[in-house]
Chain A
């Protein structure tokens, strides 16, 4: 068998191999806010925006209708009611106070109100007013805006706080 046949065969196989390949287009660099359903600026640092997904942004809506009056220092209507409530309710982005509470505990607190969990009766129960999804969403929003940032637990599923 001469050299020529070998070269032809080699070339043929290369061409066949090459035809199986295809050029892949480079994916554009994702801009975090283009991929976000909504956003919220960091309460402590207005320059920083936090991207929110669908659940978190629905939580933002619930928060700004129901919770903002007592759990934030500025409200859409001006002065906050936080200073009138004793003991002072935590700010909703206060990670130091809220990150250690499990989703389950937060859900119970919102659903049943403060007095049911041995806390202040000034926190009313929302279980007959907000849907389960609303409460899930508002917790997701709280987690998204938490400073310091919230780390989700390693083991998924239901968690219980030691309370």
Chain B
């Protein structure tokens, strides 16, 4: 009995032990199985299978090890394990889009993955070893991967100066400046310019109260002959950098009343020569002649006009100055005359040049503006507002500051509110928990937040003061990218050292040259040693390039050098003295260290050399593919038919040896001419000269071409 019992017990105990040890083993096995099934290990196994199926498997598998791979850069706080799964990232043969992710190679970028890690540019969580943890916002980590569309924002965190590789970021930064965002917000590395919107101290003398009302209500409408065409977006010209403020009728009447009382200091009304008035008032073609002058002076280089062709309205002309299609119905004629004669008297920071007008031209052009650039229906929808009452003016004065008008527009004696909008200089590095999404029904990400704010400022809170901008999809992406680049000061000293700051090099020379330079605002279109616009050629080395007689002639009567260009240098009607002053300065100061003018003497060129050079030009190198001489040749490079009068021989030789040494970024490819070929080509080019008479006729042709373009 006992023995039996014992046997029974022990059998039971044995069974229990057996079962529990099986269970124990199973439980023990969980850990290795779980380890085996880890996400990154699965990717490693998949990569091995993938690589084995390819012809270059040996190279693909050369340094794959079954472990977590980590890039550790202590100075920059980088601990990136991304390469654990992204195993082919440095394998050039895996670049093709047909390679499945996560094994595709990284496109060739200037930063090597091993030296920089991944999260510096892509964000996300570097030490994570699971897909979701690394890529998405989780409870423990708020910075998700930056979508590739906005990745240029990460470049901008360190590269504060513009990079050619990041067009979207550059466009976004340009728009942030152009749209006057710094008027209300603090932005990283975008300084407040001297003038954001026009100064309104004298606005009452320029436009009527009804016009102000209409403009405040709907700043972006363009009406054509077929009815009302509303052109959304600032592309109607930089004037509509003015966004739409949602103003009530009461606010509109208050603001328009206040602004129409701002008259500035009354200037003297300019009286035109009565003889000219008498002659032209008898003729009926004054406005037509004015239009011709308007075109000949190349006003359209800076100003655009709306043209309707086949039912489609589009703007033709530049966007440096405001669009002028209806300016005749907008401005007061006396103001117009005073403005044309001296724009800086009304707006000290205006970029409009101070032309040398003859009374006749002044009369004709103003006549053209007043009679042809008009629209009798412009103010049709604006009510008759009458004379401003005191209470309206009081309301308007308060609103001017409260609505933020004063943040962009100066009025003498009015102080704007400091920091009107939130500080955005570190927006790009903000965590989701720091953002207020309010009632907006959007994904909780930084990108979605920025887009919602830009497309509909009221979507988060109805009390938002931000006005409405109508950005096109591409520009929305660009502005988003630029805002994402503003991450404030880098957290680590390693990153701090990487910041490439933007160079500020304003160039405003003094003296006689400085006066002419400021008068004609040369720097609006030309660059001088890194400062200025990029519409026209960089003139930093013009003194080494141009021959003085040609330069003076060109300044007095500009003509186009490149047949494909529509935008042209305006005709300033400069005096001889002014042209000489400019030519003196350019010749003495704006010299290239790469050109030694004294080293090349034109007399060394013989007709035999020129004949060889002609052969080289026409047959061996076929320069006519891009350059025109006479009536044949390409449109890409400048017309060379007068190059012997225009360019110095030293510049031609240096240019043929290495164009990029003289003008960085110029598109003429650097060739491998022998020294003899350089001499022969230069000899040939110096024989290309036009007589003054032929230049005249070419000019007449050019201006009629301009007329064709403008009326297109």
Contact = CB atoms under 8 A, between A and B. Distances in A.
A126 B660 CA distance: 12
Contact of B107 (A53, A121, A122, A123): A53
Contact of A25 (B12, B27, B132, B147): B132
10 contacts: A1-B16, A13-B26, A20-B34, A53-B107, A54-B107, A56-B107, A69-B636, A75-B564, A84-B625, A85-B625
B399 to A, nearest CB: 41
B585 interface: no
DSSP class of A's interface residues: helix, strand, loop or mixed?
loop
A129 B148 CA distance: 30
A79 B55 contact: no
A31 to B, nearest CB: 9
A69 B15 CA distance: 88
Contacts of B383: none
A38 B167 contact: yes
Interface string A41-61: 000000000000111111001
Contact of B671 (A36, A66, A78, A125): A125
Contacts of A66: 667, 669
Interface string B604-640: 0000000000000001111001100000011110000
Given A1-B16, A58-B165, A126-B669, A69 B108 contact: no
B19 A9 contact: yes
A115 B621 CA distance: 9
B136 interface: yes
Given A34-B148, A77-B565, A128-B672, A16 B96 contact: no
A122 B40 CA distance: 54
Given A1-B16, A53-B107, A79-B635, 4 more contacts: A61-B164, A69-B636, A77-B564, A137-B108
A152 B625 CA distance: 32
Contact of A157 (B93, B131, B566, B669): B93
Interface in B355-409: none
A139 interface: no
A124 B669 contact: yes
Interface residues of A, number: 53
A-B pairs, 7 with minimum CB distance: A122-B625, A156-B93, A54-B107, A128-B670, A55-B107, A121-B622, A69-B636
Majority secondary structure, B binding face: loop
A34 B672 contact: no
B147 A156 contact: no
A121 B15 contact: no
A36 B664 CA distance: 30
B463 interface: no
B23 A13 contact: yes
Interface of B: 12, 15-16, 19, 23, 26-27, 30, 33-34, 54-56, 93, 95-98, 107-109, 131-132, 136, 147-149, 151-152, 164-165, 167-168, 564-566, 619-622, 625-626, 633-636, 660, 665, 667, 669-672
Contacts of A120: 622
Contacts of B23: 9, 12-13
Nearest to B474: A39
A120 B97 CA distance: 33
A61 B167 CA distance: 9
A129 B634 contact: no
Contacts of B152: 37
Given A58-B165, A77-B564, A85-B634, A124 B671 contact: yes
A80 B669 CA distance: 18
Contacts of B33: 20
A125 B668 CA distance: 10
A163 interface: no
B93 A84 contact: no
B565 A37 contact: no
Given A84-B635, A156-B93, A36 B149 contact: yes
Contacts of A53: 97, 107
B75 to A, nearest CB: 25
A17 interface: yes
Given A69-B635, A84-B635, A129 B108 contact: no
Contacts of A34: 147-149
B639 to A, nearest CB: 13
Contacts of B671: 124-125, 128
Contacts of A9: 19, 23
A133 interface: yes
A155 B16 contact: no
A152 B149 CA distance: 25
A17 B27 CA distance: 8
Nearest to B563: A79
A24 B626 CA distance: 60
A35 interface: yes
A13 B168 CA distance: 56
Contacts of A146: none
Given A81-B635, A156-B93, A125 B30 contact: no
Contacts of B665: 65
Contacts of A152: 96, 98
B626 A81 contact: yes
Contacts of B565: 77
A84 B625 CA distance: 7
B55 A156 contact: yes
Given A128-B670, A128-B671, A155-B55, A81 B622 contact: no
A79 B636 CA distance: 10
B26 A78 contact: no
Contacts of B55: 155-156
A81 B34 contact: no
Contacts of A138: none
A61 B136 contact: no
